[in-house]
Structure 1
Amino acid sequence: MDNELRKLRRAYIVPTFAVVTTELQSLSSARTSKAHMGIIENPKKETSPMTRKGMATIFSFSKTSSSLSFSLSAPHLPSSPRLHTLCGSMMEENIENAQAMILKWDPNASSDAKFTYLFKEDRNEAKEFIKCIRDLRGAMHFLVSEKSSSDKLVLTQNLMQIAMKRLEKEFYQILSANRQYLDPESVSGRSLRMSGLSLSRSRSSNSDEADVESDEEIRMAGDSVSDAELLLELAMSDLKSIADCMISSGYGKECIKIYKIIRKSIVDEGLYRLGVERYSSSQIKKMNSEVFEHHVKNWLNALKIAVKTLFHGERFLCDHVFSASDTIRESCFTDIAKEGAINIFRVPELVAESKRWPEKIFRLMDLYESLSDLLPEIESIFSFKSISAVNLQAHNSLLKLGNSVRTILSEFESSIQKKSSKKQVSGGGIHPLTISAMGYISLLADYSGVLTDIFTNSTTVMQSPLPESDSPNSDENPTSAVSVRLAWIILVLLCKLDSKAELYDDIALSYLFLANNLQFVVQKVRTTNLKYLLGDDWVSKHEKKVKQYAANYEAMAWTKVFSSLLENSTTPMSPETVRRCFKQFNSAFEEAYRKQTSWLVPDRKLRDEIKVSIAKKLVPAYQEFYDSYVVTMSGEENLEMLVRFAPDNLGNYLSDLFYGTAVSGSSLLSLSTSSSSHSRAPRCLPLMLY
């Protein structure tokens, strides 16, 4: 019998079964009341390996849940009655084998099978169980094509329902019992070797031989991976096998329903553990700055984990388990992830639409940067058309964040222009507006990359061109919209400081105020990322302005002192004139000294530069006058009161300037009297510079 069957296979079976399958195709619409029936590769016949291989060659079907299609490559030859008899015998044998295996694992039986899980108990027998179901489907189709008695069809249908109940139970058990191994973090972290293994298995998922090789590869992989990774791989392999079998047998709905329920609960639980809440617009509006900061930081951490681990892992698992059907993969992932994803990606939009304050811009840019960086992955994970609302929400949140950032910047610029306080800064020091504005602008420079993206996507145009002296120019970092915008805000600040300088009655003090504040601005630019945005030329130009302000201050503050000496230093003078000149110098110097000890220059470098510049002009001129006429007054009574300042001590007096500590007239008189006897100790001014 075996020899005859082999001869028939070589000569007739393969081509003749093409005729059989052609006839079957016309009858493929027949279904049972419970399931759609389909034929997949490799119907099993245990008694003859060659026959099984022959039938694998004969049947080549593509699986869907609703229809059957046949791929025929053999020529049509006349069929043989004897061949039909042989095929019928094979089908009956397949039914008998399937019946024995399926009833053994009937979940409704009173035996141990009711409480035992097939895939956990014996993986080899689980594989045989799947093969029996494939053979049973082939037998059912053959019976329909041969118009066999209805009792055999009823038997095969009942067996199929029992088998599907078992697979449904196994599918649920694998999903629920392996939650710790099938968590998204483990799934998303699978090695490239495992991914390659899954790919090779998915390419030949309908091949019995491929299944055998896959299990062998998994076992071999156990030597190089952890137990958890091995259990993960086995669980994913089993889920895919069961899903393929149930879907091709017309029981996809039961399988999909279980998968959606369990996996959605895992995603929802994961988001809950990440602290992702369902915020409303009113909730965010009521948050104070401290609570707001906490929630934003929590969201930033949650977003990265949700995208890179939770959603990525879930998409990977879904694609693997339901690789047989693109439609099912899309449906499952959409129902599992859509709600949670839209909720988490909607948070930035709600934040952007809530109330604004200047400091909020930094959290908005943090949100923008994180969401923008993850956008390619988001688009890849949520690429299905049915879940496009997730991508739309992510893009919409980015748009709202960008608009809010630009609005806050405009409001910040306007707030600088609207500062109307007429309060003067004591001593011409640095204005609080300068400190706060430059601190804010320098922090903005730290976000230059984010701001570049935001302004690149904006149609906003500068209303007025920047003056050449205020335009950014950097060889290292070409001028960008961000550079121009920040340079513009600094220009607005400097213009406001000009108006603040006008509040001082003393013109010299107003110039000192401008020098102080511009020096602070330049120093802030030089020591922060603003330098790379505005460039060295910008710094150099504004340093020259500082020197010019300082020179203007010096001219206005010390003109009276200089003139008391210079007007009379080149012509011979009578003792009376000399006496008057000393008195004029004393008066002018004491007045300047008294004023400017209460003035302030916080920057040490600028302070020393101004003092040295004054000393270079004042000390040599006074030295010359002193040397020329002090002898003339040698016989004068109360000479100490007339010549109050010795030339070599003027520098020490200048050292007292610009610390914001006023000196009274009596104190100054005491100091100046003692100076004539050279009793004053040297101060910090480097006199060697003049």
Structure 2
Amino acid sequence: MRSIFFKSPSPTRMTPPPSPLHHTFSESLMEENIEVADFIITKWETDVASLFSDREEARQYLVSIKGLQKAMQFLVLHHSNSERLVRAQKLMQTAMKRLEKEFYLILKSNRAYLDPESVSAHSSSRPSVSKSIFSDFEEEEFENESTDENDSISEVERVSFAAMADLRAIAEAMISAGYAKECIKIYKIIRKSIVDEALYHLGVERGLTFQQVQKMEWEVLEVKIKTWLSAVKMAVKTLFHGERILCDQVFSISSPLRESCFTEISKEGALALFGFPENVANCKKTPEKMFRVLDLYEAVSDLWTDIESIFSFESTSAVRSTAVNSLIKLGDAVRTLLTDFETAIQKDSSKTTVPGGGVHPLARYVMNYIAFLSDYSGILSDIFADWPFTIPSALPESYFGSPDNEESISSPISVRIAWLVLVMLCKLDSKAVMYKDAALSYLFLANNLQYVIGKVRQSNLNFLLGDDWVIKHEQKVKQYAANYERIGWSKVLASLPENPTAEISKDQVNNHFRRFNSAFEEAYMKQCSWVVPDPKLRDHIKISLARRIVPIYNEFYEIYGGVEAKKELWVESLVRYTPDDLGNYWSDLFYGSRTSGSVSSSSSRGGRSH
């Protein structure tokens, strides 16, 4: 033996071919592999128990297949016509049928542990099964890994990871032996049925065409949109994400097979899922659809990173394209809807006036709509990022702003929102003209602008438009209120003397009291049906009226209408109101609860508190 293995070849001769003894040694090793495989594979050929229920038996079975495969490779190279090769091939076929059965059983029996939700949840604590439990076929290594898993993860996770590792080991064995087709066929059938069933339970409808969506009543379509919105996050982050993880783990040995399996399992369902928003976006556009369209856009946009990662294969590019097209179409729909909304405001031609100069329905509708829009400011900024808005040159600076407060309205969506508010306020200006009484016109404008400011303060509009915008428009409200006071109570003020303490004749006193009584009663009877819904504005106007009228009247009253003056009968008959009476009457104003009529005397009415 020493002379055979350690004798140096002669430098003058070529190296001789391997000795017959070397061939005999290799052949004996291959023969031993075949014998071991024959014993183990035959043993399990008729056994109805699950091979993988016994971890040691499963390990030995896969080790024997690996040895058998090496033997077959040797025989193909050196003894391609050998009967031992035929025997080894038959053993391999038997082993593959067994593994095919085991693969099916593991997929079916561990369905609860291999559902996408479980796989997705467990992946956060253990992102991947880094190594097949049979990759090195070392018993000690397998035992150590199992012990570590039991210590660190739950029972459910342990079963899930073990099942994935078993499937991966079987897939590696079958693919290496040339039985990939049989393996992936089983996998695709079982896993696709699970994905399709999950999508069905989530409410994702297959084959829903654009024509069908277009013909739906809005109430029906809105229900379907709500169902889709509640389903899409679960579908992407759990269902498809979990399926991708499982595919990557089971077929880690082959990138093409990973791609093929995942694509066939998920592509059809994903296309149905992401095609729905595009169909909605292409439907007839009406203002009430705006917020559902924004919800759809937000959902797809928020999930885009996950979509791009999960469907990263070239064969799933159609899924990515469908999701992108949905975003494009939804964005187009939002831009169209917002333009149509502005046009609808400008074209509003209602001629009716609000009783008492209260808040107009247009202001309520538009501000509620815009307030809801402000909740989507981030999404709207994304949608309008590449669509700059040009402010019309005829824009009234007093409404919109000035270079001093440019920073408060700087973002593109803030500019658009401010413009919509301006369009509505201009329309309200035209409606104020419909009131025949100028004082009521100004009260109408004050009421509606105050309502607008209130909506801004109570919503995200406050952050979009800024404090400068609010302050400027609050000053405008005060201007409207001052105009109302000036016009609505000008006759009352004019009835009083410029210098109430100056000495005047009885005829002049008589004239002033009569004019005051007439002017006050006329103003009161006209305005007792007018309204100021906002409590702060109502108090502001009342206080302002009192400061303008009461001090003058009080001084005049003290001199010519007081206790001493009333001793003269002609004076007593002319003085109908004390200064306190004026406040009592004003307390009834701006609630719209009284109808026009005579003003009762101060002796027969008391003050009313609110």
Settle same-fold status: TM greater than 0.5. Answer: yes
Is 1:247 equivalent to 2:180 in the alignment? Answer: no
Correspondence for 2:230 among 301, 309, 318: 301
Structure 2 Cα separation of the partners of residues 77 and 207 of structure 1: 36
Match of 1:142 in 2: 74
* Cα offsets for 1:331-389 (capped at 9, x unmatched): 11000000001111111111212233323211221221121111101100000001100
SS in 2 for 1:190: helix
The 1:412/1:212 distance shift into structure 2, 3 A limit, reads: farther
The 1:182/1:568 distance shift into structure 2, 3 A limit, reads: closer
Structure 2 Cα separation of the partners of residues 428 and 663 of structure 1: 15
Letter in 2 for 1:284: V
TM-superposed deviation, 1:293:
3.2
Mean Cα displacement is larger for which, 87-96 or 278-287? 278-287
The 1:135/1:611 distance shift into structure 2, 3 A limit, reads: same
Is 1:682 equivalent to 2:607 in the alignment? Answer: yes
Verify the 8 A CA contact 2:356 2:530 in the aligned structure 1.
yes
Correspondence for 2:326 among 382, 387, 397: 397
Match of 1:500 in 2: 431
Letter in 1 for 2:175: I
Match of 1:593 in 2: 524
Match of 1:89 in 2: 28
Matches within 5 A, 1:166-205: 166-191=98-123, 194-195=126-127, 198-199=129-130, 201=131
Number of corresponding residues:
598
The 1:566/1:257 distance shift into structure 2, 3 A limit, reads: same
Matches within 5 A, 1:477-496: 479-496=410-427
Correspondence for 1:319 among 240, 248, 263: 248
The 1:86/1:635 distance shift into structure 2, 3 A limit, reads: closer
The 1:642/1:376 distance shift into structure 2, 3 A limit, reads: same
Is 1:552 equivalent to 2:483 in the alignment? Answer: yes
The 1:603/1:148 distance shift into structure 2, 3 A limit, reads: closer
Verify the 8 A CA contact 1:474 1:534 in the aligned structure 2.
no
Structure 2 Cα separation of the partners of residues 436 and 664 of structure 1: 30
Matches within 5 A, 1:97-136: 97-106=36-45, 111=46, 113=47, 115-120=48-53, 122-136=54-68
* Cα offsets for 1:297-342 (capped at 9, x unmatched): 2211211111111101100010011111101100110000000011
TM-superposed deviation, 1:161:
1.2
The 1:539/1:477 distance shift into structure 2, 3 A limit, reads: closer
Match of 1:47 in 2: none
Is 1:445 equivalent to 2:445 in the alignment? Answer: no
Aligned alpha-carbon RMSD (Å):
2.6
Structure 2 Cα separation of the partners of residues 629 and 322 of structure 1: 105
Letter in 2 for 1:560: K
Match of 1:328 in 2: 257
Is 1:651 equivalent to 2:583 in the alignment? Answer: yes
The 1:93/1:356 distance shift into structure 2, 3 A limit, reads: same
* Cα offsets for 1:86-140 (capped at 9, x unmatched): 111111222122222222222xxxx4x2x232122x2212222212222222212
Match of 1:62 in 2: none
The 1:269/1:219 distance shift into structure 2, 3 A limit, reads: farther
Letter in 2 for 1:418: K
Is 1:272 equivalent to 2:204 in the alignment? Answer: no
TM-superposed deviation, 1:401:
1.2
Match of 2:149 in 1: 221
TM-superposed deviation, 1:684:
3.7
Using the size of structure 1 for normalisation, the TM-score is 0.82
TM-superposed deviation, 1:233:
1.6
Structure 1 Cα separation of the partners of residues 449 and 567 of structure 2: 51
The 1:510/1:86 distance shift into structure 2, 3 A limit, reads: same
Verify the 8 A CA contact 1:94 1:132 in the aligned structure 2.
yes
SS in 2 for 1:87: helix
Match of 1:33 in 2: none
Letter in 2 for 1:103: T
Verify the 8 A CA contact 1:575 1:633 in the aligned structure 2.
no
Percent of aligned pairs with the same amino acid? 57
* Cα offsets for 1:161-189 (capped at 9, x unmatched): 11111111111111112111111111112
Correspondence for 1:561 among 480, 483, 492: 492
Letter in 2 for 1:651: G
Structure 1 Cα separation of the partners of residues 408 and 295 of structure 2: 23
The 1:312/1:251 distance shift into structure 2, 3 A limit, reads: same
Verify the 8 A CA contact 2:408 2:469 in the aligned structure 1.
no
**Unaligned stretches of 5+ residues in structure 2:** 8-14
Verify the 8 A CA contact 2:135 2:169 in the aligned structure 1.
no
Structure 2 Cα separation of the partners of residues 97 and 511 of structure 1: 102
Letter in 1 for 2:65: I
The 1:387/1:612 distance shift into structure 2, 3 A limit, reads: same
Structure 2 Cα separation of the partners of residues 148 and 569 of structure 1: 131
TM-superposed deviation, 1:663:
4.4
**Unaligned stretches of 5+ residues in structure 1:** 13-75, 686-690
TM-superposed deviation, 1:572:
4.6
TM-superposed deviation, 1:521:
0.8
Letter in 2 for 1:144: V
Structure 1 Cα separation of the partners of residues 303 and 63 of structure 2: 43
Letter in 1 for 2:159: L
Mean Cα displacement is larger for which, 287-296 or 341-350? 287-296
Match of 2:542 in 1: 611
Mean Cα displacement is larger for which, 461-470 or 253-262? 461-470
Structure 2 Cα separation of the partners of residues 364 and 537 of structure 1: 32
The 1:544/1:406 distance shift into structure 2, 3 A limit, reads: same
Matches within 5 A, 1:379-398: 379-398=308-327
Is 1:235 equivalent to 2:166 in the alignment? Answer: no
Structure 2 Cα separation of the partners of residues 77 and 273 of structure 1: 72
